[in-house]
A and B are shown apart, each in its own frame.
Chain A
């Protein structure tokens, strides 16, 4: 009898016997949300990832840096289901094997991804971009008969406010500036209510002021979301990072707080330059 009662409790709740697993729910009972374990990927003999292992705690803000070709984007491709690894596993929470799921399934589970080049729906208005991204039933039938209710429009309005695009709501997203597109894309990710946010160069092409505002936004999101930022802008990384991972040749070279990383001999050798 006791076990049946426990099954109704939310995942992650501990009992005397441990906790009950719920299918499709992210189980962060051990405090870890993403395990990337010994992943290798090669393209025509080139090892893009070579035994990469990365562990992220729930609510953490992590920066990933590394020279070109270190495997940063491939790592994101594996986590989001775009690329299948040759070996190794990637788990979301304790139970969800990402290497067996497709892109849209992973997105629905709560991993949002921003591309290196800002990718928004250029022909759609800013409002519609957020509407399409919003967490809801994304099946064909539902979309054919879907109507926005007032709670939905409120959510979209709140997000427009938050990303500073309220005045642009009705404009086609293609007309936005580069920095505004970056913000819109981040807004679209947030509309999905994600657990994990993967951001590939979120401040590329932004002005100093926009960069500072983005840093502020990401700081405010940490804690509620787990955030992984891939970035080249060291100043930006220094301004937000609590923990930094350095990738080199498809594996982790160093990991730790920013000031330690900056003084690491090997990191200076391959990346920061003397």
Chain B
């Protein structure tokens, strides 16, 4: 963990900023961005592992919470553009294009960073709370729950695709200029965003590890393995599921908010059902119920994706499917399980 901190907080930023571009150890913006992105994905995988690996709830809609966190941050970033858009208006370009004269009511206060941060936490959190409240009260479980979460993210994608929704339709938000006054084009800003992501990933890992090693975590695993026994032990399993569900959604929202300023775009494609399924695959490949394995799985699968989509762009999805099948059949505990087995044998 100290190694991770040293690399993310010291080595990489130094190699980017202090080493000249022609030096072989120089880290380019491309790899800086890749690392930042992967760490956001790793946070999402942690969130997924918490509810799937430990509580046994498979969500196929976690991309939605990630996207909502991203949009919440994106609204603020749109306001930071100011009047530097194509049309020179204080409104975002797409609103000018739609011939809107002023911001819709739900954009009120979006120019304040603090409010954006609050929304990053509250919007995914509230949606997860309301959805979880009804789903867990109706005792919806297993594959039914997964399908409903998939439908939920699909419905939101359709909603966000509409121009009238006021979030830029299928183009979403892009062309961001600065965050908190710092230019997003500056290498220093990029390195700082990457390091911030690393910090949050570390905090998320510690928080998740605390949760799963507490009595709460043991109750979660008990719910996963024998829910009715857990109820007859006197636990209100609904409250436990709801808590971890909302926590997981908020974690995704934070990851989304860190992702958008680095990548520079957020659009409804992030809510597509396939995206959410991919999250489940990262977690399965890395190893369910291990936290660190899931986080590593996000990096490994996305690393493979970056390389594959450059080398053999048309075969990536076949590879992803094959990977999932192989892991499911031969590595039920993922790559982390492979390491654990080796350690047991030694």
Chain A contacts to B: CB under 8 angstroms = 80, 82, 102-104, 107-108, 112-113, 115, 119-124, 128, 131-133, 135, 138-140, 143-146, 188, 192
- Complex Cα distance, B232 from A186, in Å, reads 13
Once A138-B235, A192-B233 are accepted as A-B contacts, the answer to whether A120 and B211 lie under 8 Å apart by CB is: no
Q: Which residues of B contact A135 (CB under 8 A)?
A: 234
Asked whether, in the complex, the Cβ of A144 is within 8 Å of the Cβ of B211, the reply is: yes
Asked whether, in the complex, the Cβ of B226 is within 8 Å of the Cβ of A103, the reply is: no
Chain B contacts to A: CB under 8 angstroms = 211, 214-216, 218-219, 221-222, 225-226, 228-237, 239-240, 243
Asked whether, in the complex, the Cβ of A140 is within 8 Å of the Cβ of B233, the reply is: no
- Complex Cα distance, B221 from A143, in Å, reads 13
- Complex Cα distance, B229 from A112, in Å, reads 10
Q: Which residues of A contact B211 (CB under 8 A)?
A: 144
Determine which of B222, B240, B243 lies in contact with A121 in the assembled complex, contact meaning CB atoms within 8 Å: B222
Question: Which 9 A-B residue pairings sit nearest by Cβ, starting from the closest?
Answer: A107-B234, A143-B216, A103-B231, A146-B215, A108-B234, A143-B215, A119-B229, A144-B216, A121-B222
Once A124-B222, A139-B239, A140-B240 are accepted as A-B contacts, the answer to whether A82 and B215 lie under 8 Å apart by CB is: no
Determine which of A107, A120, A121, A140 lies in contact with B231 in the assembled complex, contact meaning CB atoms within 8 Å: A107
Q: Which residues of A contact B231 (CB under 8 A)?
A: 102-104, 107
Once A121-B222, A131-B218, A143-B214 are accepted as A-B contacts, the answer to whether A103 and B243 lie under 8 Å apart by CB is: no
Asked whether, in the complex, the Cβ of A104 is within 8 Å of the Cβ of B214, the reply is: no
Q: Which residues of B contact A119 (CB under 8 A)?
A: 226, 228-229
Asked whether, in the complex, the Cβ of B228 is within 8 Å of the Cβ of A103, the reply is: yes
Q: Which residues of A contact B216 (CB under 8 A)?
A: 140, 143-144, 146
13 further contact pairs, Cβ within 8 A, besides A115-B228, A122-B226, A132-B219: A102-B231, A102-B236, A104-B236, A120-B226, A121-B225, A122-B225, A135-B234, A138-B235, A139-B236, A140-B243, A145-B214, A146-B215, A192-B233
Q: Which of B214, B216, B219, B229 has the largest number of chain A CB atoms within 10 A?
A: B229
Nearest-CB residue, chain A, relative to B235: A138
- Complex Cα distance, B236 from A107, in Å, reads 10
Q: Which residues of A contact B236 (CB under 8 A)?
A: 102, 104, 138-139
- Complex Cα distance, B235 from A273, in Å, reads 43
Q: Which residues of A contact B225 (CB under 8 A)?
A: 121-124
- Complex Cα distance, B216 from A64, in Å, reads 37
Once A144-B211, A192-B234 are accepted as A-B contacts, the answer to whether A128 and B239 lie under 8 Å apart by CB is: no
Determine which of A82, A104, A146 lies in contact with B237 in the assembled complex, contact meaning CB atoms within 8 Å: A104
- Complex Cα distance, B234 from A103, in Å, reads 7
Nearest-CB residue, chain A, relative to B226: A119
**9 A-B contacts, Cβ less than 8 Å apart?**
A82-B228, A104-B235, A107-B231, A115-B229, A121-B230, A124-B221, A124-B222, A139-B236, A188-B233
Q: Give, as a whole number of angstroms, the nearest-CB distance from A178 to chain B.
A: 16
- Complex Cα distance, B232 from A132, in Å, reads 11
Q: Which residues of A contact B230 (CB under 8 A)?
A: 121, 132
Q: Which residues of B contact A128 (CB under 8 A)?
A: 218
Q: Which residues of B contact A82 (CB under 8 A)?
A: 228
Q: Which residues of A contact B219 (CB under 8 A)?
A: 132, 143
Determine which of B214, B228, B233, B237 lies in contact with A133 in the assembled complex, contact meaning CB atoms within 8 Å: B233
Q: Which residues of A contact B222 (CB under 8 A)?
A: 121, 124, 132
Determine which of A122, A138, A140 lies in contact with B234 in the assembled complex, contact meaning CB atoms within 8 Å: A138
- Complex Cα distance, B211 from A120, in Å, reads 22
Asked whether, in the complex, the Cβ of B235 is within 8 Å of the Cβ of A121, the reply is: no
Nearest-CB residue, chain B, relative to A142: B215
Q: Give, as a whole number of angstroms, the nearest-CB distance from B346 to chain A.
A: 21
Q: Which residues of B contact A102 (CB under 8 A)?
A: 231, 236
- Complex Cα distance, B55 from A123, in Å, reads 13
Q: Which residues of B contact A123 (CB under 8 A)?
A: 221, 225
Asked whether, in the complex, the Cβ of B215 is within 8 Å of the Cβ of A131, the reply is: yes
Asked whether, in the complex, the Cβ of A138 is within 8 Å of the Cβ of B218, the reply is: no
Q: Which residues of A contact B215 (CB under 8 A)?
A: 131-132, 143-144, 146
Q: Which residues of B contact A140 (CB under 8 A)?
A: 216, 239-240, 243
Q: Which residues of B contact A107 (CB under 8 A)?
A: 231-234
- Complex Cα distance, B215 from A122, in Å, reads 16
Q: Which residues of A contact B226 (CB under 8 A)?
A: 119-122
- Complex Cα distance, B215 from A216, in Å, reads 33
- Complex Cα distance, B232 from A112, in Å, reads 7
Asked whether, in the complex, the Cβ of B229 is within 8 Å of the Cβ of A120, the reply is: yes
Q: Which residues of B contact A138 (CB under 8 A)?
A: 233-236
Q: Which residues of B contact A146 (CB under 8 A)?
A: 214-216
Nearest-CB residue, chain A, relative to B240: A140
Asked whether, in the complex, the Cβ of A103 is within 8 Å of the Cβ of B229, the reply is: no
Q: Give, as a whole number of angstroms, the nearest-CB distance from B235 to chain A.
A: 5
- Complex Cα distance, B226 from A133, in Å, reads 13
Nearest-CB residue, chain B, relative to A122: B225
Once A115-B229, A119-B228 are accepted as A-B contacts, the answer to whether A124 and B234 lie under 8 Å apart by CB is: no
Q: Give, as a whole number of angstroms, the nearest-CB distance from B228 to chain A.
A: 7
Q: Which of B222, B234, B237, B239 has the largest number of chain A CB atoms within 10 A?
A: B234
Q: Which residues of A contact B234 (CB under 8 A)?
A: 104, 107-108, 135, 138, 192
